[in-house]
Amino acid sequence: MKKILSLLILVAILFACKKVPLTDRKQFNAIPNSQLNSSSFSSYDQVIKESKLSSNTGQVDMVKNVGNRIKEAVEKYLKENDLGDATEGFQWEFNLISENTVNAWCMPGGKVAFYEGILPVCQDEAGIAVVMGHEVAHAIAKHGGERMTQALTQQLGGMALSVAMREQPEKTQALAMTAYTGVSTVGAMLPFSRLHESEADELGLKFMALAGYDPAEAPEFWKRMKAQSGGAPPEFLSTHPSSDTRVKDLNKLLPEAKKYYAKSNKATNKPIPNLSNISSSSSKEEKSETKTKMKMKIGN
pLDDT recorded at residue 53: 98
pTM for this prediction:
0.80
- Measured CA to CA in angstroms, residue 24 lies from 18, 74, 141, 213 at distances of 9, 16, 10, 24
Where does the pLDDT of residue 30 fall: very low under 50, low under 70, confident under 90, or very high at 90 and above?
low
For the residues 205-216, what does the mean pLDDT come to?
A: 98
Radius of gyration of the chain (CA): 19
For the residues 57-85, what does the mean pLDDT come to?
A: 96
Where does the pLDDT of residue 168 fall: very low under 50, low under 70, confident under 90, or very high at 90 and above?
low
Q: What is the mean pLDDT of the chain?
A: 79
Query: Which amino acid is present at 51?
Result: S
Percent of the chain at pLDDT above 70?
A: 69
- Summarised one tens digit per residue, pLDDT across range 246-293 is 999 999 999 999 999 999 999 999 999 999 878 545 434 344 444 434
Report the 10 Å Cβ neighbour count for 170: 7
265-298 burial by CB neighbour count: b if 16+ within 10 A, else e? eebebeebeebeebeeebeeeeeeebeebbbbbb
Where does the pLDDT of residue 145 fall: very low under 50, low under 70, confident under 90, or very high at 90 and above?
confident
- Summarised one tens digit per residue, pLDDT across range 40-62 is 898 899 899 999 999 999 999 99
Of 61, 110, 77, nearest in space to 264 by CA: 77
Of 275, 296, 59, nearest in space to 184 by CA: 296
pLDDT recorded at residue 5: 31
Where does the pLDDT of residue 2 fall: very low under 50, low under 70, confident under 90, or very high at 90 and above?
very low
